Amino acid sequence: MTDRSDRAPLIEMRDFRYTYLEGTPRASVAVRGVTLEIQHGERVGIVGPTQSGKSTIVDAFAHLLRLREGQVFYEGQDVAAPGYNRVALRRSVGIVFQRPDFQLLEDVVGKDVAFGPTTAGLPAEETRQRVEESLNAVGLDYKEFRLRYVHALSGGQKRRVAIAGVLAMRTPLLVLDEPMAGLDPRGRRELFELLMRLREQRDLTLVMCSSSLAETSLLCDRLIILQEGQIVIDGPVRDVLKETERLSGLGITLPEPVSCARELHQIFPDLPTDLLAEDELETELLVRLGARDA
Amino acid sequence: MIVLDHVSFTYREGEPDAVPALRDLDLTIEPGQFVAVIGHNGSGKSTLVKLLTAVLYPPTEGEVRIEGIPVRHETRWEIRRRVSVVFQDPDDQLVMNRVGDDVAFGPENLGLPREEIAERVDFALGAMGLGELAERMLDDLSLGQKQRVAIAGALAMRPRFLILDEPTSLLPVAAAMSLIRVARDLNRREAMGVIHITHSMVEAALFDRVIVLDEGRMVLDGSPAEVFRHVDRLREIGLDVPLAASLAHRLRARGLPLEGDILTETDLREAIAALPRPMTVKKERPG
């Protein structure tokens, strides 16, 4: 990986291992030695089947787990070192958890989004501004939604409120754990568009966990593929998409153009699979079928 | 047989904020049919499920009948014995700590004799491939496994119809496909009707019949092949058309004579393999 500056990576993890319920009969190993670096401004997808260790790794970024084996550094500082300011760490690593119901703490939308800034001790006016900005950023009109009850929202809207709550904290790192799970196609498309807008913010580092490559391959520049708590592939998106056999062997859902191209390999062994869109596949097929735009 | 006889349902009927959820739905589902109902949120899918499981009754207009029994307050228990439902999130449905106990919960509430309960639990666990997990704690299971326990619980009620209310939307695709294979197997072996509610067209392609709802109306009804022919209409409604179907549509528009109904990637491969080659493809449609 190229070092872009003399700045330390935003996140560095060295040989991190984690076992849930360690020392009990129900112990289960979640992460078996993960070493990675995430640079400022990177957009990284952490992709693997369920129980491959994705959530455990991102929870460790914010030191939400007791770090026993391995080390996690935030901007070069060991987060488990004595005297390290954990509160400051959690105001730097914003995680949107898989189920928004576990994250939404207040009954009214505006109050929920204000929870972080208020707890951080920001003045009321600054908090109000951030709530307004964050709600508008996730496509929920501030005036229309600030007094709405959280429980009456759709799944997609709840997830957007959860994202707004994290955005209001202005964390340099935004982590989304399975953001698309449980959304219908319309909700997925809306959230996808929102994330496409967010990814353009230069100062934001984005990490997305998913069991599918469908959205991560479009939203991220780099993919880290996990299997049973270990990194098995790590590289730029298109390089990773070339490894179709390995990916589908791992039980990872391929993006539709990739999986379709893989199926058509029997006819066209030279058909590339590092395709991101239907248009790209159509063009490749037309070339092979003898048609070419004049 | 399930009959919806010109059924409409409006929430808060007669009030200024009334919301029509189903509009004049007229449809029959035969015993043992394997049906997918698709539509986006707000299309009326959930209201339909509530009407079929005697959670909402009676409809604002028309009548719902299950095996000839009209769905009403007095008949709700008879209806729920014939129709079982599995929800999106198994945590909303699982009540006990141990897998076997949870599956026994429904039959126990029917007041069945002990041997019959044991028999039904064995059957349901076996059918879902959960035999070895009977003694396990639910908290230790993955979401996909919990979803199977929820289905086993529904099966232990020995329903005539099993309604799967978006059980796949929280699952990774591979787990979703395996769940549908299990449902298909049950449908064949037990002649049990399955109604699968989903917003995935890829899943819907695996069913014998696809019903498309939009804004409370049935807009398409037929085999997957018949329904997926309406690529533009489906897009307009906001549903995702499988890429293979959409690509076939595009290639045909380019003049490629692809034969047959193309719903899946395998269909597309076979159709392309069957093209006469070498061939020249025109840029424009043949006039």
The per-residue pLDDT for B143 is 80
State the amino acid at position B92 in one-letter form.
Answer: D
Q: Which backbone phi and psi does A175 adopt, to 5 degrees?
A: -110, 130
Mean pLDDT of B49-73: 94
| CA–CA separation, A86 and A224 (whole Å) | 26
User: Quick check: B18 pLDDT over 90?
Assistant: no
Q: Is B202 helix (H, G, I), strand (E, B) or coil?
A: helix
* CB contact (8 A) between residue A263 and residue B268: yes
**How many other CB atoms are found less than 10 A from the CB of residue B173?**
19
Chain B residue nearest residue A179, CA to CA: B170
First CA to last CA across chain B, in angstroms? 48
Give, as one character, the DSSP assignment of residue B132.
G
Q: Is the pLDDT of residue B132 over 60?
A: yes
Please tell me which residue of chain A has the smallest CA distance to B282: A291
> What burial letters (b/e) apply to A167-184, b meaning 16+ CB within 10 Å?
bbbbbbbbbbbbbbbbbb
| Structure confidence by residue, pLDDT tens digits, A42-53 | 999 999 988 899
Q: A263 contacts in B (CB within 8 Å)?
A: 265-266, 268-269
**pLDDT attached to residue B236:** 86
Q: Quick check: A177 and A95 in contact, CB under 8 A? A: yes
Tokens standing for residue B130: 């959960």
CA of B140: which chain A residue's CA is closest?
Answer: A26
Q: Which residue of A has its CA nearest to B202?
A: A256
pLDDT tens-digit map of B266-276: 999 999 999 87
Rg over alpha carbons for chain A, rounded to the nearest Å, is 21
Q: What is the pLDDT of residue A291?
A: 59
What is the pLDDT tens value at each position of chain A, 294 positions in all? 444 446 899 999 999 999 998 988 888 899 999 999 999 999 999 999 888 999 999 999 999 999 999 999 999 999 999 999 999 999 999 999 988 777 888 999 999 999 999 999 999 999 999 999 999 888 899 999 999 999 888 878 898 899 999 999 999 999 999 988 877 777 788 889 888 888 887 789 999 999 889 889 999 999 999 999 999 999 999 999 999 999 988 888 889 999 999 999 989 999 999 999 999 999 999 988 875 443
Which tokens belong to A264?
A: 């058509």
A222-227 and A205-210 strand pairing = unpaired
**A186 and B40 in contact by Cβ < 8 A?**
yes
pTM: 0.79
B266 touches chain A (CB under 8 A): yes
pLDDT in tens, A51-106: 899 999 999 999 999 999 999 999 999 999 999 999 999 999 999 998 877 788 89
Query: In this predicted structure, what is the pLDDT of residue A6?
Result: 65
Give the burial class of A292: count Cβ atoms within 10 A of its Cβ; 0-12 exposed, 13-18 middle, 19 or more buried. exposed
Residues of B with CB below 8 A from A183's CB?
Answer: 169
pLDDT in the model for residue A292: 47
Ramachandran class of A87: left when φ > 0, alpha when ψ lies in -120 to 50, beta otherwise: alpha
A65-78 per-residue burial string, b: 16 or more CB within 10 A, e: under 16: bebeebbbbbeeee
Q: What is the DSSP string of A244-262?
A: HHHHHHTTPBPPHHHHHHH
CB contact under 8 A, B238 and A212: no
Least confident of A118-132, A175-189, B29-43, B97-111: A175-189
DSSP A179: T
Tell me what the pLDDT averaged over chain B comes to.
89
Residue ranges of B 45-64 with Cβ closer than 8 A to chain A: none
Nearest to B172 among A187, A211, A257 (CB): A211
B272 vs A26, A183, A267: nearest CB: A267
Give pLDDT, residue B277. 67
Cβ-proximal residues to B100 (8 Å cutoff; 6+ apart), any chain: B121, B125, B134, B135
Contact at CB, B242 and A294, closer than 8 angstroms: no
User: Alpha helix locations (H) across chain A?
Assistant: 54-61, 86-90, 109-119, 124-137, 142-145, 155-167, 185-199, 213-219, 237-241, 244-249, 256-264, 278-288
| B243 touches A at CB < 8 Å | yes
Question: How far does the CA of residue B82 sit from the closest CA of chain A (Å)?
Answer: 28
- Looking at residue A185, its pLDDT comes to 76
Q: Supply the pLDDT for residue A4.
A: 46
> What is the C-alpha separation between A102 and B104, in angstroms, rounded?
29
Q: B278: cis peptide before it, omega within 30°?
A: yes
Q: Which residues of A touch B142 (CB under 8 A)?
A: 50-51
| Per-residue model confidence as pLDDT tens digits over B185-216 | 889 988 899 999 998 888 898 999 999 999 99
- Give the residue on A whose Cα is nearest the Cα of B264: A260
Q: What is the ipTM of this complex?
A: 0.78
